A and B are shown apart, each in its own frame.
Chain A
Amino acid sequence: MEKLNNPSELSLIFKYALRDLSRNYKKISSIIVTLFISLFILSAIFTIEDSLKKELNDNAKTLLGGDLEIDYNRNQGDLNLVNEVKEFSTVSQMIEFSTMLSTTGRKKNKSLFTRIKTVDKKYPLYGEVVYEPEDAYERMQNEPKTILINESLSKTLKIKINDKVKVQDQSFIVVGIIKSVPDVSGFVAFGDWALAGKQTLEILKLNGIGSFLNYEYKVKFKPSDDPEKIESKIKDIFKDDQKVKLRFPENSASGLKRIINNFSQFLSLVSISAMLIAGIGIANTLLSFINQNNMSIAVRKAVGFYSGNIKTLYYLQLLILLFIITVISYGSSFLIVPIADKYLSDGLGLNVYPKFSLINFIKIFIVGLLVLIIFSIPTISSIDQVKASNLFRNVFQNLQFYYSKKSVIFSFILLSFLVLLFTLGSERPSYSLGYFLAFFVCLIVFFLLSKVIIYLLKKFNFIANISLKVSIKNITQTKSITPITIMSLGLGVTLLLTLALVGTNFKREIARSIPDIAPDYFFVGIQKGEKKKFEQGVYKMNPDANIEIVPMVSSGIVKINGVNPNRYIKPDNDSYWVIGSERRSSWVENIPKDNPILKGEWWDLSKPSQLQISLDAKVAKDFNIELGDIFTLNIYGREIDGEIVNFREVDYRDLSINFAMLFNPQFAKKIPHEYLATAKFKNPDNFDEIKMLEVLPSLSMIKIADYLNKVTSVLNKVFIAVTLISGVTIIIGLIVISSAIMVQGKVKEYQNLVFKILGFSKKEIIFSSLIEFIIIFTSVILIAIFFAVIGSKFIMENIFELVWQFDFEVLIYLGASIGIVTLILIMLTNLKYLSPKVYPLIRNQ
């Protein structure tokens, strides 16, 4: 943009910009619509993300359940230390465990593996528990053998208030339904869960490691105390306790924050794709708008306007338009928040409220501004081509995109800035960068494709069929919209097909893993003396059951080669979970079939008194472990040194029994243990969970199909949302095509008039449009499928590390649907040019 002479000139240009815009906005309606849609999507993503993060930050203490959390994981912890904390603050103890919850007194009872949270009377320290009926929570706290269940559990097992349920061998009355609990960051907030009073623990036997026990103490400081001082005091109390983990509000819901960041990064990239596609349309519509104003521009030049000032006038109009659209789209995005709130409060127990953020508004405006400027530079620069002398000749040449070296460099800088804006702020910058790279490669390929099509069709000059001849001429003519159609449609279709292929592959991978590899059930909580009873119970119902039963012991890694691993292994390490809390380990005589040894030797039988460890190779790599390294494990309070003797390849996705650590049986069988089992049945329906619970009341059963169905159902919802948002790119692409056709409208109308005069029938004109569409769409869809295949294969195999498979059906369905919609749109847009009025056109009116 060129400089203005003085401030009064700027205010004059501003005045003209406002006037011109208020009178010409209809001519640039496609710019307004595409800009609005893409900015609205971007605004909605930013607003929801911001509202969610604000909610998480504002309610960090509520989400954590206190000013601080003392997490002892599998054991009760050092109560003396906890009591020390109680001296200067309020401490609420809660214990979570998983067990079977069954209905009673029905013809056919049902059971579900349920997470139960037992709480004392101080719970919750922050926030509130929402439940019904009114006295339910009080009854749960004061009456023994009462329980509150969540809505999901109530729906799945069809349990009503005051129904009796069985937990292990004890009967409980369901006194109410919980809508939400405040401390969702550390608790499973979706799925099946229940809340019970502290006394429940005394009623149930919860010593087994299969109960997935978790001991937590939430701490609330006195309001008069300095939180920092109290925090350091508590840290000091627990400084020598290696089993404890202290959590603070700032790290509450870190997993949730990461998911939000990842998801919003992906959606932001989709929305910026929509904006860039819109940019192609903006450039085209703007060029047509400037062409329509060719005479006015020449007049302005003739009366003494500088070319630079005229360009500024157009940039200003775009700026004003962008500001208005940003305000409207950002404002409208607040309407989406209540919808998001409904889903989030149902799913996560979080409530989001629309909150204005100036930074977000500026970010959205800047993104819009960058896209607008990048795409309008070659268009507005074309104003230099307008000559005032044309007014004397009464001839106005059609303007073309104008690329000077300076403007190309400037556009490139702005584009890099735009890419950086989305890349640097994202959760995974390399993925964002890769996405942009793929986007621009696709854009270039589609542009080149259009040029190749035009080049090849120009060679077809021997065709006799008149409709085909006309359609080829339409595609190859100088002012053809072929490149714009191919680029905008191609990018949208590629994005949609890629996501569809990823989605179907993902779902198929999950569904496929159930019958092929996975067992039907996981059983936990089989005590040492119950092994036979368990096997008999299963075989009685299913004589042909395939049972795998392994010993299991809980252990925590205290030291690696004498050093506490928590000191140097950070939570962002992929294998942090191995040291994060106590893990279950097992032992076997022989190398498991699905766990091949990658390095080292199987057990050294000459050292039966020494603990030998077989480690997951991925964990070894992540922790930089070598053979011969020593793990100090805490097993039932005893610290035992074990030597790493081999690395195994473990694939947890096969859903069979897998452990990160396996011990040598000669040493391990002396350790007190219980059993973990899996079972695969020829006919799973013959297996009765309730009967099994009668045999072993403390047994927990996890039906794999149920869990995978839940995952699939969540994934389905996610993919529907993602596909809908990606569909926006198609909508914008279609608007771009439609506006491009309308830009050509006058020429098309004139051409159809000539055809009419020459005796061309409407049918032939429609047929030629159809051929034109088929030629363009076929080439677009083929290239889009090619890119979608490469893109989805890369995502599935490299990001999700799953098997990719070509899905012809989804491509056919989606491709055909997009094709039909595009065809209808093209036909409808062309329809009004089919019957040109002869008189006004002949008289050049």
Chain B
Amino acid sequence: MNTLLKLKKINLKYQTGKDNINVLKNIDLTIKKKETVSVVGESGSGKTSLIMLIGGLERPTSGKIIFQDREITNLNEDEVSEIRKQNIGIIFQSFYLIPNYTAVENVSLTLELNEFKNPEKEAKSLLDRFGLKHRFNNLPSQLSGGEQQRVAIARAIAMKPDLILADEPTGNLDTDNSIMISEILFKYVKEEGSSLIMVTHDPKLAEKAKRKIKIKDGKIK
């Protein structure tokens, strides 16, 4: 099978006070292996909610999510963590590096968790690949935005996940850094054969993906 991920009739509702908000409505989506997909749409349309569901960070109100032929919708938190640990890398708009860990330690975190033999060496090699050789032992506060995002990408892809989820990866960066980050990301996906689902407001970045999905009012258009 060539399918990596399948979403069937996914609905997501939030309750705020007495009101029910339908964030996602009857979403059906299939992502193939090695496929790159960009998710676009207006603010509040449900893009981020969609990748949160895919990453197992939220539970849908109804519907099924099947990842690598295994339904993850009914798994408990630890079981989902186990899948995420090995197969899903997440990149955030605000980088979210652990503030008191150095660049190497931030990247090593996922490698150590996945019991890599020499996590520090692997982490350094990755950072070197992203042009951060001189920043190994710097804390996030000592890095620029672009550098922080490169470390965050290195952390997300360190254990060579089958799926990378990126939420506005260039949203907090200037133009030069945005270009650099998108190049790094797409180059890596191409070389390692991971799938990528990327939420973005940047039309240029969205165009880089093989497939573009537009979400409006919680529905895929």
Residues of A within 8 A of B (CB): 8, 12, 15, 19-20, 23-24, 295-296, 298-308, 387-389, 391-394
Contacts and interface: CB of A to CB of B under 8 A. Distances in A.
Nearest to B168: A392
Give 4 nearest A-B pairs by CB, closest first: A304-B85, A389-B57, A23-B100, A304-B84
Nearest to A387: B57
Given A8-B115, A24-B100, A306 B81 contact: yes
Contacts of B99: 295-296
Residue among A23, A299, A301, A393 with most chain B CB within 10 A: A299
B78 A306 contact: yes
8 contacts: A23-B100, A24-B100, A302-B57, A304-B86, A304-B114, A307-B81, A308-B78, A391-B92
Given A302-B55, A303-B84, A391-B92, 5 more contacts: A12-B113, A303-B85, A391-B96, A392-B51, A392-B167
Interface in B37-75: 48, 51-52, 55, 57-58
A301 B88 CA distance: 12
A259 B9 CA distance: 78
Contacts of A304: 81-82, 84-86, 110, 113-114
B160 to A, nearest CB: 14
Interface string B114-128: 110000000000000
A8 B58 CA distance: 29
Given A20-B100, A23-B100, A392-B52, A303 B113 contact: yes
A20 B124 CA distance: 21
Contacts of A305: 81, 85, 113
B147 interface: no
Contacts of B93: 394
A24 B99 CA distance: 11
Residue among B82, B113, B114 with most chain A CB within 10 A: B113
A745 to B, nearest CB: 18
A19 B167 CA distance: 29
A20 B86 CA distance: 24
Contact of B57 (A296, A306, A388): A388
B165 to A, nearest CB: 9
A387 B101 CA distance: 21
B211 to A, nearest CB: 21
- What class of interface size applies to chain B in its complex with A? 20 to 34
Contacts of A296: 98-100
B6 interface: no
Contacts of B57: 301-302, 387-389, 392
B154 interface: no
B112 interface: yes
B202 interface: no
B109 interface: yes
Contact of A299 (B81, B96, B105, B112): B96
Interface string B153-177: 0010000000000010000000000
B90 interface: yes
Contacts of B92: 391-392
Contacts, number: 71
B94 interface: yes
B77 interface: yes
Contacts of B155: 303
B52 A302 contact: no
Nearest to B79: A306
Nearest to A307: B77
Residue among A8, A23, A388, A394 with most chain B CB within 10 A: A388
Contacts of B101: 19
A393 B48 contact: yes
Contacts of A24: 100
Interface of B: 48, 51-52, 55, 57-58, 77-78, 81-82, 84-86, 90, 92-94, 96-101, 105, 109-110, 112-115, 155, 167
Contacts of B97: 299
A300 B90 CA distance: 11
A689 to B, nearest CB: 77
Contacts of B113: 12, 303-305
B159 to A, nearest CB: 9
B82 A295 contact: no
Nearest to B48: A392
Contacts of A19: 101, 105
Contacts of B82: 304
A302 B84 contact: yes
B201 to A, nearest CB: 14
A584 B197 CA distance: 101
A394 B90 CA distance: 14
Contacts of B51: 392
A788 B110 CA distance: 56
A12 B90 contact: no
Nearest to B109: A303
A296 B115 CA distance: 20
Contacts of B112: 12, 15
A300 B55 CA distance: 14
Contacts of A307: 77-78, 81
A12 B84 CA distance: 18
Contacts of B58: 389
Contacts of A299: 96-98
A300 B99 CA distance: 12
A13 to B, nearest CB: 10
A8 B117 CA distance: 12
Nearest to B80: A304
Contacts of A389: 52, 57-58
A844 to B, nearest CB: 12
Contacts of A15: 112
Contacts of B52: 389, 392
B46 to A, nearest CB: 12
B170 to A, nearest CB: 15
A194 B197 CA distance: 96
A300 B105 CA distance: 13
A212 to B, nearest CB: 73
Contact of B90 (A20, A295, A302, A308): A302
Contacts of A394: 93-94
Nearest to B167: A392
A298 B78 CA distance: 14
Nearest to B199: A392
Nearest to A20: B100
Residue among A298, A300, A305 with most chain B CB within 10 A: A305
Contacts of A301: 57, 81
Contacts of B114: 304
A27 to B, nearest CB: 10
Contacts of A295: 96, 99
Contacts of B81: 301, 304-307
A170 B82 CA distance: 96
Nearest to A6: B115
Residue among A23, A301, A302, A308 with most chain B CB within 10 A: A302
A769 to B, nearest CB: 31
A305 B99 CA distance: 17
Residue among A301, A304, A308 with most chain B CB within 10 A: A304
B49 to A, nearest CB: 8
Contacts of B48: 392-393
A307 B92 CA distance: 20
Contacts of B96: 295, 298-299, 302, 391
A23 B102 CA distance: 11
A409 B101 CA distance: 36
B109 to A, nearest CB: 6
A307 B80 CA distance: 11
A305 B86 CA distance: 11
Nearest to A8: B115
Contacts of B110: 303-304
Contacts of A393: 48
Nearest to B112: A12
Nearest to B89: A303
Nearest to B114: A304
A304 B57 CA distance: 10
Contacts of A391: 90, 92, 94, 96
